[in-house]
Structure 1
Amino acid sequence: MCYNALVQDKAVILELSGTVHVQDIADLKQILAQYVAEGKHSVILQLENVTYMDCSGLGFFVSAHKFLQAVHGVLMLSGARGIVRDLLRITKLDTVLLEEEDLLQRRPGGREVLA
């Protein structure tokens, strides 16, 4: 797994790419904790370039969601496709976790969540 981070005020967009396996989860948790410690409580995980993810990735989404909720933050997913999208649908996590597109449709002005 590779990632690229784009930081905007109190938010961060983590663009993940490649495959996400169990051995990547500790790194993802550390990255998330670092940004939250810096006051970045809105996190968008850009999944467009993730080609494969095992169940540990789903577990990370749930734990990251709970972690951010505890600090009054939000986790959003964006661009999931293929097997990643299928996993989200099969597990019904697509109904629990916010997808960026859903949030933008619900909020007037769209991206002010990143401010």
Structure 2
Amino acid sequence: MTQKSEAQKGNITPEMEYVAEKENIDVNKLANLIDKGLVVIPKNINGHSTPCGIGEGLKTKINANIGSSSKIDDIELEVNKAKLAQEYGADALMDLSTGSDLKLFRKKIMDAVDLC
């Protein structure tokens, strides 16, 4: 199931309802924009994320990048960056990590913030 396939069938998903409320837009109008391919609600079914709408007629989204590397592998530094990004209004967080123990790193980040 994708948001687009559900919109094409005329179905309203919980994600569409959430985004419509957050964006202050009629859910049927949102579903129509999704059906036309003008709005997307990205969501990884294997991970934890808050639904977030991107596209025509919606608020601009702010993305923040964090990550560890082979040269800098400081989990607490990146957790603090993630918290600051959320505090200052970031909508999404992109993890560009290439360092060690990615599973632990990502768990600590996900436990610390609630972004798309």
TM-score (norm 2): 0.37
Q: Which has the higher contact order (CA 8 A, sep 6+)?
A: 1
Q: Choose between structure 1 and 2: higher helix proportion.
A: 1
Structure with a larger share of its residues in strand: 1
TM-score, length of structure 1 as denominator length: 0.38
